[in-house]
Amino acid sequence: MIELTSDWVKNRTAPGIIWDGHDKAPTGFGLRIHKSGTKSFFLNYRIEGKERRHTIGKWPTWTVQVARAEAKRLREEEIDRGHDPARDKREHRNAPTVQDLINRYIKEHLPTKTAKGEGRAKDEKKMLEEIGKLLGKDRKVADIDNVDAEAMHKSITDSGRPVRANRVAAVARKMFSLALRRRVNEDRPWRDATQGNPFRGLERNTEEARERFFSQNELAAISEALAKYPGVAADCVRLIMLTGCRPAEAMNAQWTEFDKEPGYWIKPSAHTKQRRVHKLPLSPPAIELVDRLRKKQKGEWVFPGDKPGKPLAALWHVWHFVRKETGLGQDARVYDLRHTFASVGAGGGLSLPIIGKLLGHTQSRTTQRYAHLADDPVREAAEKITNVITNAGKPGAPAVPIRGQS
């Protein structure tokens, strides 16, 4: 045992373990010189009846004085209180990384989003790839904090994609919520509950609601464009127009859903956003479309995809053609056909509960967004009455019969 000094450590080259004899050195503190010439400070201790060795750091990054002080701190603040720094260090070294969490998300959570179709799954994988790039795939899940979350959100926002930043943050939030749940056969979750979710409470960018309603002329132009496009994708868009369904519901439609009860589309809970069975009555044009498709389509899918045994995976190609043919702007989306379906119903005087049933909404507030459209017939009636009143007595004014008088 020898009192370690900076000069002694610097000049010593022979491999071996040297215990520190300094009067302020804690028991078990020493220096190890490897055959390679690397020198590192360590602390030996016993915990739960077993001897442990914790490496403090390499010389000269760690000086003798600083390493000795750290050894004393470890002994007094951790080891004597039952903590095992060597185990903690080992667990941190083997702790799950951001990439591990991404893989867990893909395995455990992504398959639950079947109602959103393969296109949504591909998009989420792109978001997961961006999350890994911005947070650092090799960083430990437990080391990510709210500052990292805010920096990631800001980076995407500053790239000119504020809405995308919100979407990526939402995926990251769900991803880190998995890290708070202990997996089977694991002793603890990947993040401690006291750490929480670093993406919870993140301030999102302001978004304006995107509600585009196609006019009758635009709907006619869309229909004409679809007639020019070959393949099942155009028919899939037609079904969306005629039923107001979500695009993913149409793309994943199976013949069994139309065979259960003639004249109805019985959407299974696995294919709907609200995870409930939705019974939708079909209009004559929709029934005619389904019957026409039934005569030419084989297999289980109403709209089979390019891969054998798989449904239609995307609609972007047909919609790109439609926008080019009709002159619709880039803001026009396939999903806007669903909004248009609802707007036509609201403008025609249908009640919001009825529209909600057609769309498969489970909460009235979801349908409430179309309330202002339902005012149009009322406004038209008010204008008619007002015209009669203001023109009363004027030449050519229509006569309004009074009930009970001839």
Domain residues for the domain of 227 are 216-370
380 is a domain residue? no
Residues 172-185 as b/e (b if ≥16 CB within 10 A, e otherwise) read bbebbbbbeeeeee
In a domain, 248, yes or no: yes
Q: Does 164 lie in the same domain as 225? A: no
pLDDT band at residue 406 using 50, 70 and 90 as cut-offs: very low
Same domain, residue pair 79 and 155: no
Are residues 87 and 129 located together in one domain of the fold? no
The CATH number assigned to the domain holding 51 equals: 3.30.160.390
* Within-domain flag for 134: yes
Whether 236 and 125 map to the same domain: the answer is: no
Residue 63 sits in the same domain as residue 108: no
- Please report which confidence band the pLDDT of residue 404 belongs to, taking 50, 70 and 90 as the band edges: very low
Q: Which of 114, 124, 123 is nearest to 311 (CA)?
A: 114
Per-residue pLDDT tens for 101-129?
Answer: 999 999 998 887 654 556 677 889 999 99
Residue 402: inside a domain, yes or no? no
Q: Exposed/middle/buried for 364, CB within 10 Å: 0-12, 13-18, 19+? A: exposed
What does the pLDDT average to over 201-218? 84
32 in the same domain as 150: no
Q: Is residue 396 part of a domain?
A: no
Q: How many domains does the chain have?
A: 3
Distance CA 387, CA 209 (A): 35
User: In this structure, are 48 and 87 located in the same domain?
Assistant: yes
Q: How far apart are CA 44 and CA 32, in angstroms?
A: 12
Q: Are residues 109 and 167 in the same domain?
A: yes
For the cut 50, the answer to whether the pLDDT of residue 92 exceeds it is yes
- Per the CB < 8 A criterion, the answer to whether 341 and 244 are in contact is yes
Instruction: Indicate whether 250 and 356 sit together in one domain.
Output: yes
Mean pLDDT throughout 304-333?
Answer: 90
pLDDT of residue 101: 95
Mean pLDDT of 226-231: 92
Q: Which of these three, 40, 64, 92, is where a domain ends?
A: 92
Q: Is 338 inside a domain boundary? A: yes
Is residue 331 one of the residues assigned to a domain?
yes
- Final residue of a domain: which of 178, 205, 234? 178
Q: 106 and 220 share a domain?
A: no
**82 and 165 together in one domain:** no
Interatomic CA distance for residues 247 and 341, integer angstroms? 13
- Answer yes or no: is 104 within a domain: yes
> Could you tell me if 28 and 173 lie in one domain?
no
Q: To which H or E segment does residue 55 belong?
A: strand 50-59
- The answer to which of 9-18, 64-73, 174-183, 353-362 has the lowest mean pLDDT is 353-362
pLDDT of 91 reads 64
End position of a domain, from candidates 76, 92, 108: 92
Higher-pLDDT residue of 375 and 73 is: 73
Confidence class for position 208, pLDDT limits 50, 70, 90: confident
Other Cβ atoms less than 10 A from the Cβ of 95: the count is 14
Q: What is the mean pLDDT of residues 379-386?
A: 59
pLDDT band with cut points at 50, 70 and 90 for residue 393: low
